[in-house]
Amino acid sequence: MIRYLIQKEFLQIRRNAFLPRLIVMFPVVVMCIMPWVMSMEVRNIRVCVVDNDRTTHSQRLVHQIAASDYFIFTGRKPSYRAALAEVESGESDVILEIREGRYLIAANAVNGTKGSIGSAYLSQIVSGAAEGASPPALSSSLILYNKHQNYKLYMIPALFAIIMMMMTGFLPTLNIVGEKEAGTIEQINVTPVRKWAFILAKLIPYWLIALFVITVSLLLAWAVYGITCAGPLVWVYVLAMLLALFFSSLGLIISNYSDTMQQAIFVMWFFVVCILLLSGLFTPTRSMPEWARLTTYANPMHYFIDAIRTVFIRGGGFAAIAHQLLALLGIGLFMACWAVRSYKKNGG
Amino acid sequence: MKQFVSFIIKESKHILRDRRTMLILFGMPIVLMLLFGFAITTDVRNVRTVVVASPLSAESRQAVGRLAASEYFTITATVSTPQEAELLIRGQRADMAVVFAPKRGGIQFIVDGSDPNMAQQWTAYAAQVTAGPQSSAVNTKMLYNPQMRSAYNFVPAIMGMLLMLVCAMMTSISIVREKEKGTMEVLLVSPVRPLMVVVAKAVPYLLLAVLILVLILLMARFVLGVPLAGSLFWIVAVSILYILLALSLGLLISSLAQTQLVALLLSAMVLLMPVVMLSGMLFPVESMPQVLRWVSAIVPPRYYISAMRKLMIMGVGIREVAREVLILMLMVIVLLTIALKKFNTRLE
Amino acid sequence: MNIIEVNGVSKHFGRVTALENVSLSISRGEVFGIIGPDGAGKTTLYRILCTLLIPETGRATVEGFDTVSQMKKIRRRLGYMPGRFSLYQDLTVEENLKFFATLFGTSVEAGYDSIKAIYRQIERFRNRKAGALSGGMKQKLALCCALVHSPSVLLLDEPTTGVDPVSRKEFWEMLASLRERGITIVASTPYLDEVRQCDRVAFLEQGRIRGTGTPENILSEFKDIFNPPPLSLCKTGMPTSADDNIAASSASHAGEDAPVIEVSHLVKTFGNFRAVDDISFSVRQGEIFGFLGANGAGKTTAMHMLTGLNQPTSGSGRVAGFDIRTEYEQIKRHIGYMSQRFSLYEDLTVSENIRLFAGIYGMKSEEITVKSRELLRRLKFEDHKDDLVKSLPLGWKQKLAFSVAIFHEPGVVFLDEPTGGVDPATRRQFWELIYDAARRGITVFVTTHYMDEAEYCNRISIMVDGKISAIGTPAELKQRFQQPDMDSVFTYLARRAKRSSD
């Protein structure tokens, strides 16, 4: 019986004017554009220099800055005040003032990351140039896993999370509320269809689509960016399916409690934003205050992101992600039970 | 005039009676502000550090002491070989290892480079901390945001996103809903001028947006401690200009979409995605490839967010944001003209 | 001068012809009927008249103003009630009315006289949200909203579809009084008794006007559509409604005289509101049971309890041998159900819908193939089996929905207003299908607002304010209340009940 229901879902997806295009376009757009956009890499920092010394040394320094990949030299200013005006109008990000062999770096720190990284780079150049061949660098660093400091590598696993969320969270939610609004769900409710069969028939197509989309994305990551999975690929799929279980259950719960698409979308969006922001997808969870860090123990996205980055970037295997897998499974099953319970074929 | 007032009353009732949407509309700003203000930070904090040293020299013991004392780092373990440290990092039980190599007298940092930004900041901080206080020729000063709090950067961005969401999405959906339910037919056939129908629809959302603006500003000032450095008058004035822009966008969408679902998807895809991705809200525009920077040039929130950062955080005068304000004004005029031209006084 | 003048108007949507060279003239003070099947172009014609659409060719004028160039002048003089409920669901009854009154530059007080006949009936719900009203009451409220500013021309697009006979009568009485005040009324309707109350009617089919004239002329000219011969029941071996040995005859199909539906003291309350108030009845195997009642009387709620969509507050009942409180999932296996509008997936084709529902009831794949071919042949749908359901005319959808509902040979089939909005000939064809099913031993439980259909039932019950006020064969009821036809029986009961409840 479930076979017919699944068949019906696929037919409806195919007939929809919009969905097939979305399913094809989505991974392509996401994989081709997002990695470029979702980069918090600090580049092209605009520096203006207030050179009070006008020595050959300071000249050389300015050349060095202009030659660096990170900086764009926007020009010399006669005074600190003039330079500040430059920053205020948004023409420059960092001021370097040179006075009697001493250096002042003033960075616009409205964006803290940019301010601190930018000033750190600049002070490296400055102190390198200032001290010349004086004491050798005291420290060196070895960067593991993401050797080329490629931000795209860091973000691509996060994109998988976003893809799963869209495909297995939002689409089934819209689908079920749509049937509610059209009234066809009433017809289904008077048939002997079992609750779980109806729900499963709604989810399986989207799970399959999500798998397809993930595969396409993996291929695109390899073809466009030359980025491949460092660990065993099977765990990427296992993790994706576990996340799908959670998101589709969440979507179902929300659609069971809402009457209109608008409501469902808003509520879903609200939860998704909170889950995403608190997951460590964009910012490290350990920088969060205690209360926020506590919520990550219940946040499946947190486990997913942790695990998939371990597999994808650091090349970890089952042992490295066992506890995340377990947590994801637990949360997913809990949500699934709730979803089936909250779907009522027989209104009170 | 009486008709106009009764129109606005009717529209306000629609908004007020939809409890769940109301809850989201006001819950969203509060939750987002709290999350971005406290939880979502890119600050370097609690970096789990492993110390690698067989015999610790007095010098390195001092360095470790300084690391442990700083708020940035937490020493979680001491191991004897770098290989062991690497395993800990792969297993996600540590982020960074400090290797004291007595032979070369230097320090090596092994960092988890998955997140390039964080890796860079960790090493920069660690180098600074381990080196201890030393007089340097370089003096760094962080302008506007000395503690480098992420909230300073995010609050203007949240304003840009939420105002767009409330105005554009809600207006377009509420107009399209009338189309879908058939009430628009009656409104059009009535002697009321179509322009009035539209303006009356927009007014409650304008008020709602202003209310949300006030809520955000109050929260920013008193809960998050973000300064309102610039003139409050101009902050509100530019925001209202932006709200008008968002309303005209909503109007435009409503004349293109026939069903709520389409309106929803249009506003989500045409508005929300670019707003979040391309406006410089989370990801700096400067780091994007040229093509995307061109695209971001037509995303209105980019200018609003930039203007707000300057006005609110940097505290500059209106003259410094003249460019942004002019562009926003131009956009309002163009969009409003198109939207009003496109508004159908008939069904086709 | 004619108040409405339509000359050679055509309109296409893509490749679909909505109107083709339509010409009409309607004189001042007339009640003009527009009749025709679903999809004939009635709504398009209305929309052109009220300036919402622009005709491709031809010209239309209202009160001498052109619908294209003098839009504003027309809109000031027009009242329009679209076919769909044009109400704000989240505003209360009173707020809706007030809003529409202000919209048209008047007030409820000023317009009260023109609406009081209808508004009185819903006034006691004035603080209830429009979305919580029953279908018929929504329709009444929509009417009040369209009438409150006493326009000089009133355009009504199927204003009484889904409204019970008593309310329809009151509505048309009101239209008559509006006509006396000189208001021109253009109305479309699927009900023959309403067609007869028009001064003149135009019959529209596939975008063309087939004829214009007095109702009698049109109805007799196209009598194969509007006045099909009544179902000849005796010839087919079915018990007629007037026949007293229904039980015996249907029992011969069933083999025993066990009731298929048995209900005692069923109650359903929503808060303080007793939607279904202590009803008891039973239906025998193979019977066609008509479940009548005014709008909001509780029919749909009762039906939901019988089909397991809802749980009763108190009381008990058995359907197809299973308890409605505890065994509702088993009930679902043994019944078919067709709801008012949406039974089929519009974005699936005819044969895909059949396959889906057959599959849901656990039929074997080969069995489905054989039976669906047979069904398509019987319905003469073979050429359309790969058409999307949304492209079919309403009458076809209804026939298909019914056939799908009984495809798995259920013991009982529940039909909730299955024939709304189609012409008499199509309804007759539908009832042939019902008789066919009953002959095969399927019990039919049907609600309807068409009293001619009530006559086709073996037995009927009439529900008023949550209670069953009469039950019996149509002949018995007519005799008991000494009324000439079912329409009068219904009106008599519904009006009497209302008086007692006030």
Residue C474 has pLDDT above 70, yes or no: yes
pLDDT at A140: 62
Judge whether C91 and B9 are in contact, CB under 8 Å: no
Q: Rounded mean pLDDT of C157-166?
A: 80
* Pairing mode, strands A102-108 and A94-99: antiparallel
Weakest mean pLDDT among A3-12, A107-116, C149-158, C223-232: C223-232
Residue C496 has pLDDT above 60, yes or no: yes
Chain B residues with CB-CB distance to C55 below 8 A: none
The candidate with the shortest Cα–Cα distance to A145, out of B264, C460, B89, C438, is B89
Q: How many CB pairs under 8 A join A and B?
A: 269
Q: For B167-186, what is each residue's pLDDT tens digit?
A: 888 888 888 888 887 788 88
Residue C418, both tokens: 């299955």
Burial of B269-300, coded b for 16+ CB within 10 Å and e otherwise, reads eebbebbbbbbbbbbbbbbbeeebeebbeebb
Calpha distance B324→B234 (Å, rounded): 13
Residue C432 has pLDDT above 50, yes or no: yes
Residue B80 has pLDDT above 50, yes or no: yes
- The helix (H) or strand (E) run that includes residue A344 is none
Does A177 lie in the same domain as A55? no
Residue C236 has pLDDT above 50, yes or no: no
Q: Say whether B345 sits in a helix, a strand or coil.
A: coil
| CATH code, C189 | 3.40.50.300
Chains that touch A (3 or more CB pairs under 8 A): B, C
Q: Which domain holds residue C13?
A: 2-225
Q: Which of the two residues, C262 and C78, has the higher pLDDT score?
A: C262
Does C143 lie in the same domain as C83? yes
Look over chain B and give the mean of its residue pLDDT values, rounded to a whole number.
Answer: 81
Calpha distance C291→C38 (Å, rounded): 25
The last residue of one of the domains, among A104, A131, A158, is: A131
Q: Rounded mean pLDDT of C407-422?
A: 86
**Residue C253 resides in a domain:** no
Residue C169 has pLDDT above 60, yes or no: yes
Interface list for C 2-21 with B (CB within 8 A): none
Interface list for B 51-90 with A (CB within 8 A): 86, 89-90
| CATH code, A106 | 3.40.1710.10
C105 and B3 within 8 Å at the Cβ level: the answer is yes
**Residue C148 resides in a domain:** yes
A284 and B148 within 8 Å at the Cβ level: the answer is no
**Residue C231 resides in a domain:** no
pLDDT at B103: 59
Residue B283 has pLDDT above 50, yes or no: yes
Interface list for C 119-148 with B (CB within 8 A): 145-146
Residue A330 has pLDDT above 90, yes or no: yes
Burial class (CB in 10 A: 0-12, 13-18, 19+), A203: buried
Residue B59 has pLDDT above 70, yes or no: yes
C362 and A1 within 8 Å at the Cβ level: the answer is yes
Straight-line distance from the first to the last Cα atom of chain C, in angstroms, rounded to the nearest whole number: 46
Cβ-based neighbour number of residue C429 at 10 Å? 17
CATH of domain B47-131: 3.40.190.10
Q: CB-CB: which of A40, A274, A310 is closest to B117?
A: A40
Does A338 lie in the same domain as A211? yes
Calpha distance C245→C284 (Å, rounded): 13
The last residue of one of the domains, among A98, A131, A164, is: A131
pLDDT at B240: 92
Calpha distance C486→C478 (Å, rounded): 7
Residue A132 has pLDDT above 80, yes or no: no
Q: Which domain holds residue A124?
A: 45-131
The candidate with the shortest Cα–Cα distance to B124, out of A154, A103, A127, is A127
- Number of structural domains (chain A) is 2
Weakest mean pLDDT among A129-133, A199-203, B207-211: A129-133
Residue C8 has pLDDT above 50, yes or no: yes
Does A264 lie in the same domain as A116? no
**Residue A62 resides in a domain:** yes
Does A163 lie in the same domain as A211? yes
Q: Say whether C11 sits in a helix, a strand or coil.
A: strand
Does A101 lie in the same domain as A117? yes
Burial of B140-153, coded b for 16+ CB within 10 Å and e otherwise, reads bebbbbeebbbbbb
Instruction: Give the best-scoring range by mean pLDDT among A167-171, A220-224, B139-143.
Output: A220-224
**Residue A267 resides in a domain:** yes
Does C282 lie in the same domain as C163? no
Does C467 lie in the same domain as C381? yes
Q: Rounded mean pLDDT of C247-255?
A: 43
Does C271 lie in the same domain as C175? no
Does C264 lie in the same domain as C218? no
Does C54 lie in the same domain as C128? yes
pLDDT at B241: 92
**Residue C452 resides in a domain:** yes
Does A65 lie in the same domain as A107? yes
CB contact C82 to B (< 8 Å): yes
Does A264 lie in the same domain as A184? yes
Does C144 lie in the same domain as C283? no
Does A78 lie in the same domain as A116? yes
Burial class (CB in 10 A: 0-12, 13-18, 19+), B132: exposed
B1 min Cα distance to partner chain A (Å): 31
**CATH 3.40.190.10: which residues of chain B?**
47-131
Judge whether A150 and B287 are in contact, CB under 8 Å: no
Q: How far is CA C404 from CA A294, B182, B196, C359, in A?
A: 54, 31, 48, 11
Minimal-distance CA residue of chain C relative to A12: C347
B346 min Cα distance to partner chain C (Å): 4
Q: For C289-300, what is each residue's pLDDT tens digit?
A: 999 887 777 888
**Residue C11 resides in a domain:** yes
Q: CB-CB: which of A5, A182, A191 is closest to C332?
A: A191
Q: Which of the two residues, C209 and B40, has the higher pLDDT score?
A: C209
Q: Rounded mean pLDDT of B261-271?
A: 76
Question: Checking phi first, is residue C421 left (phi over 0); if not, alpha (psi -120 to 50) or beta?
Answer: left
**Residue A139 resides in a domain:** no
Does C210 lie in the same domain as C283? no
Q: How far is CA C390 from the centre of its chain?
A: 19
Residues in chain C: 502
Reported confidence tier of residue A143, pLDDT bands at 50, 70, 90: low
Does C300 lie in the same domain as C163? no
Does A53 lie in the same domain as A26? no
**Residue A334 resides in a domain:** yes
Chain C residues with CB-CB distance to A196 below 8 A: none
Minimal-distance CA residue of chain C relative to A16: C347
Q: CB-CB: which of B17, B18, B347 is closest to C52?
A: B347
Residue C240 has pLDDT above 60, yes or no: no
Calpha distance B270→B268 (Å, rounded): 6
Does C293 lie in the same domain as C178? no
What percent of chain C has pLDDT above 70?
91
Does A290 lie in the same domain as A315? yes
Judge whether A339 and A252 are in contact, CB under 8 Å: yes
Does A336 lie in the same domain as A254? yes
Does A189 lie in the same domain as A328? yes
* Sign of CA pseudo-dihedral C85, C87, C91, C93: negative
* A160, A165, A171, A174: CA torsion to nearest 10: -160
pLDDT at B136: 60
The last residue of one of the domains, among A131, A158, A185, is: A131
Residue C252 has pLDDT above 50, yes or no: no
Residue B76 has pLDDT above 70, yes or no: yes
Does C163 lie in the same domain as C43? yes
Does C145 lie in the same domain as C24? yes
What percent of chain C has pLDDT above 90?
6
Minimal-distance CA residue of chain A relative to C388: A15
